[in-house]
Each structure stands twice: as C-alpha cells, then as structure tokens.
Structure 1
Amino acid sequence: MNIFGKTIKIFLIDGEPNGRLTCELSNWTGKAFKIPRNKIKISANRPELENTGVYILFGKSSDDKDLAYIGEGEEIYKRIVQQVSGKDFWNDAIVFVSKDENLNKAHIKYLENRLYEIAKKVNRYNLNNSNIPTKSSISESDQAEMEEFIENIKLLTNTLGYKIFEELIHENQTIEEQISNTFYIRAARGADAQGQVTNEGFVVLKNSEISDSVTSSLNQSIINFRQRLINEGKIISNNNKLIFTEDYLFSSPSTAAAIVMGRSANGLTEWKLSDGRILKSVEI
C-alpha cells in the first residue's frame, strides 16, 4: 500500500496555541475550526460558522474519563451556542464545514451518524449522545464523497490531538505486517497473550489470556492496575480463564507483560515474535 505525505495548514486565529485555530488540508474543500468553550462568544463574526456542518465537543466525565458529543447543524455557530448552555462537560469544540458550502442537511446527517458509529466502534471516548444519530439516505455518489470527507475529518481530528476516531490496531494490515509486528507471551499460570507495537505504546490484543494469579513480589501498583481492568470489564473470567475483552493500550511493553504474566517482567525480552525473536532485537 502506497503512503503519501499530506500538507496541513494550521492558522492560530488568536496568535496562541491554546486559542482558536483553523485547520485545512491541501486539495480538500473542507475546513476545521477548533474553538475553546470560552472563545465561543467572540466567534460570532466568523462567516464560515454560519454554514452547515458537523461538530464534536470534547471534555471529561465526572469520573475523569474522556467524553465527547457528536452533532450537526445547518447554522453551526447557533447550534454550538446552544450547547454552551445545554452541556457543561466540554471544553473544546471542533467544527467541520465545507468551504464551497456544498454540504446540505442530508450530508451532515450522514456524517453525524457515521462519525458516531466510528467513535463507538473505536471506543476511546464515552459518548454523551443520548440517541444514535439518524442516518440519512443519500445517493451512491454522495455517499462516496462523504466517506472521503470522513477520512479527512479523522485525519484532522487526530492531528489536533483527539484520537476519538483512531483505531488502536489498524484493520487494513497486510498478513506480512501482522506477522512482523505480532508478539506473544505464553507463560505459567495460564498466560497466553498477543500484542503489537504502535505509535502510542504497546497494545495487548482482544482475547489474550492473562495469568490466573499474581506473585507475592509483584508491585502493588500493577496489582491495583490489574484489578481496575477487571472491575471495568476490560478483563473478564471466561471458562476459568482471564481474558481481555478488547484491544488495550499500555504505555510500555513491560507494563503489558507484567499484567499478562502476573509478575514483574521486562517486556523487551518477554514479548517474542512467532520465530522466537525478542522485541528488543526487533527494535534495535
């Protein structure tokens, strides 16, 4: 698969990195705005925000979990102003409009539904939407254009620091990529896990089995982490085995290995490819 570079133009409207900004992608008719909640009021004079578009609100829940709301509006600024009084969890809004004003109501309803579906599947953020957005019926050609629009939304949202649409493990990996980047731990007390190195850390894959007990010397913080994963349903007991219910991102391969093995572990030497090579030898 050929990977081509892309040019993204970011303009700091207020001249500061934490203020308002616009984000544009070369050869794309769309445009993104990132607007902090406390800058919504002074954004009324932005003509682009009078257009039809979709938006995402980002913040934290009461238990400090990442939380987002995905919505749409025919006059996007007015809709976001309503959300200032309607929802208090969010601190930043990212708005997507079309520079050629080519998005209609059916388009943005389609975009809203698809973005919701993708965010729900990726499962990095809890969603504040009380209902699943209705998916509009559009022509095959319009659908193709909107799917391309969505890919650019995903790219810019990730570039702006929000991984709400970013899969932990990309589904379009080739067989060769999977083989060369899938590491294994098969150890005592039932551990039988698979994982992959990513740009963000080390991901233990869904259905990986972890040890059914921990050693007495294991660091208490790891024991607490393991128990939290069980309490949150990330790890469940199934047929007398403890398994991951989803792909899970760890900050390091050693933390991942300790959780899987139930003991202190050096992930650089414990995680191995199918041919026996350790992670450390592959990275160097």
Structure 2
Amino acid sequence: MRPFTLRIFLPSGDPSGVLVATRDDGIGKAIIFPRALLGEVKGRKEWNLLGVYLLVGQSKLYIGEGDPAGKRLEDHATKKTFWDKALFFTADNRLNKAHIQHLEARLIKLASGAIAITLDNGNQPQVPALGEEEYAFAENVLADLLLMLPLLGITQFVSPVTATDEIASEESSSGEVAVGRRAGIYSSLPRGMLFSGTHKEANATLEIVEGGVWLKKGSTVVREPVPSFETYCAGYAQMRRQLLESGVIADLNGKLTLTEDQFFSSASAAACVMRGINSNADNWISADKKNLGDLLRALKQKNN
C-alpha cells in the first residue's frame, strides 16, 4: 500500500446528495448517489461512458458493467428494488471494454467470498483474456478501487488478509528484505533439507538449495486460488500464471502438477503459488516436525 489522497466533490453542496470521488494518483472517478437522485445523475457526462457499477442495499449487492453504464443503471431502477445507493466507476478513454469486463468479473468473484452480504448476481462472468501488461493495468485499477470503496461507505468487500496470513516469517518489519541477505539465510540451512506442505488438494515437497528453495517435481498445487489472490498477492498470482503458461505447472491426471523442479527465492513465495492464498514459511513442515518459518526466524536472530 502507498499513501494517497481521496478527493470528494459535492456538485450540489449537499453531503447526502451526489458525490464525485477521485484519487490523486489514480485514474477515473467514482460517482456515488442515493437511488432517489438517479435523475440528477443522468445529466452528468459520465452517464454516457462505459463503466462498472455497484447497486448497494442493506444486505444485498449487485455488480455489473455497461457501455454506457447509465443505460444499465436506468434499467435496474425499475427492475431491481433492493438497492438504495449506487456507485459507478468510469475513466473517460483510459479504460476499454475488456478492462471494464475484467473489473466486473473480479469484483463479483471477490464479493462472492465476502461476509454478511448476499450477491444478487445470477452468474459469475469469466475474466476476459488480456495481455500481460493490460492484465496488470486492470489489476492496478482494481486495487485502487478497492482501497477507495470503504472510504465511500461501500464496506461489503472484506479483505481476507489477516495477521496470521501475512507473509511475515521471512520479511523485515517494513516488508522489505535485501535479496542477498535472504539468499544468505537460506544458504545457512543444510542443503537438501526437505519439507512438505498441503492445502486442499495440493501436496508439495520443498527442498533447501543454495540461495533459496526448490518446489520439487511431482508436487501438486491448488487448482483454484482464493478469489482475493489476484488482488492481494498480485506478484505471486502473476508468477503462478507464468508457470502455467510455460508448462512448468501442467494438468496431469486431473491435478495441477510441477513437471520439473522450480526455484523460488523464498519459501513464502513457493507456499503462495502452491496454496493459492497469502502464505508464509510456516506452512512447510519437515519429517521431524520442524517448522521452516521457525528455523528461518532463529537464523535471523542469530545473525542480528
């Protein structure tokens, strides 16, 4: 996360009326309005732009996209009765149809795992195929939007990242570790030490090697990461996609299996790819029940 400023503009001067929110370092804008002011919002230029939108009720949420977004919102004003507040997000020409469809699909998937909310969507749209750079761009927009939503009163999206899930066993208090120092810590462990890790259908073996670890050939990984994985573990999600595209991870006998040993600079990275959820070195256990996270922390204390 990085510091940012959220600007709220009130076109009518009424705090309970239409709000226009923009980030100082982001793109696009969010328009938030109560259902009763739908007619007022129709006069704004954003009404005729493509965008993604949320219809928010007391215990129900609907997520959609439209080109233009306004036409879809107008349809829902007569067909859906549960919502009392709406938000739609547009970005002039910065976002295309595929970007908006990506945001819709990802938001629906995230909302499906949220707490105390009923998702009114009847289906889960597929994330459109995007190139690597376009995918990263769309995910960055999504991450920025998710940080904005709670500040705008949209609290239905619950981050699953908790203190027990944080990747902290190998990280400094600031979350940064010099590559050379981390490699040195792994090089201090006996070569060839083996650890196992399991999660759902995944069953993997980890080996300590010079400067890092190998996720061993024949290890299996989860087929479906948690819905929040792409957002809160974007780097590891990208790493996982690259391994799938290159065939290092392949579907063998109905399981996603490593076809060769794969090097990782940290055990937490290997755990995230294997488990499809924010993870750390504590998830790797040796045959004599030693926890790799404990071993790494002991080495760090010894070296400090």
Residue 132 of structure 1 corresponds to: 124
Matched ranges for 1:138-149 at <5 A: 138-149=130-141
Alpha-carbon shift at residue 169 of structure 1 (Å): 4.1
The answer to whether the 8 A contact 2:51-2:88 is kept is yes
The answer to whether the 8 A contact 2:115-2:158 is kept is no
Matched ranges for 1:40-55 at <5 A: 40-55=38-53
Residue 15 of structure 2 corresponds to: 17
Matched ranges for 1:200-219 at <5 A: none
TM-score (norm 1): 0.56
Residue 151 of structure 1 corresponds to: 143
Matched ranges for 1:1-284 at <5 A: 3-60=1-58, 66-99=59-92, 101-167=93-159, 169-170=161-162, 173-175=166-168
Secondary structure in 2 aligned to 1:151? helix
Alpha-carbon shift at residue 39 of structure 1 (Å): 0.6
Alpha-carbon shift at residue 12 of structure 1 (Å): 1.3
Alpha-carbon shift at residue 145 of structure 1 (Å): 0.4
Residue 187 of structure 1 corresponds to: none
Give distance in 1, aligned partners of 2:42 and 2:168. Answer: 50
Residue 237 of structure 2 corresponds to: none
Task: Mark the runs of 5 or more structure 2 residues left unpaired by the alignment.
Answer: 174-304
Give distance in 2, aligned partners of 1:170 and 1:31. Answer: 29
Secondary structure in 1 aligned to 2:8? strand
Give distance in 1, aligned partners of 2:26 and 2:3. Answer: 14
TM-score (norm 2): 0.53
Cα deviation digits, residues 218-277 of structure 1 (max 9, x gap): xxxxxxxxxxxxxxxxxxxxxxxxxxxxxxxxxxxxxxxxxxxxxxxxxxxxxxxxxxxx
Q: What is the letter of the counterpart of residue 80 of structure 1? A: L
Structure 1 pair 146–124 and aligned structure 2 pair: CA distance change class (3 A): farther
Cα deviation digits, residues 79-112 of structure 1 (max 9, x gap): 100000110000011111114x222221111110
Residue 218 of structure 1 corresponds to: none
Secondary structure in 1 aligned to 2:155? coil
Q: What is the letter of the counterpart of residue 86 of structure 1? A: K
Secondary structure in 2 aligned to 1:6? coil
Give distance in 1, aligned partners of 2:50 and 2:153. Answer: 24
Alpha-carbon shift at residue 176 of structure 1 (Å): 6.1
Give distance in 1, aligned partners of 2:23 and 2:136. Answer: 18
Alpha-carbon shift at residue 49 of structure 1 (Å): 1.9
Runs of 4 or more consecutive aligned structure 1 residues displaced over 6 Å after TM superposition: none
Give distance in 2, aligned partners of 1:134 and 1:33. Answer: 25
Alpha-carbon shift at residue 67 of structure 1 (Å): 0.6
Give distance in 2, aligned partners of 1:17 and 1:169. Answer: 32
Cα deviation digits, residues 124-156 of structure 1 (max 9, x gap): 421000111232111111110000010111111
Alpha-carbon RMSD: 2.2
User: How many matched pairs?
Assistant: 171
Alpha-carbon shift at residue 8 of structure 1 (Å): 0.7
Give distance in 1, aligned partners of 2:94 and 2:2. Answer: 27
Structure 1 pair 175–25 and aligned structure 2 pair: CA distance change class (3 A): same
Secondary structure in 1 aligned to 2:147? helix
Q: What is the letter of the counterpart of residue 75 of structure 2? A: Q
Identity %: 33
Q: What is the letter of the counterpart of residue 153 of structure 2? A: G
Q: What is the letter of the counterpart of residue 42 of structure 1? A: E
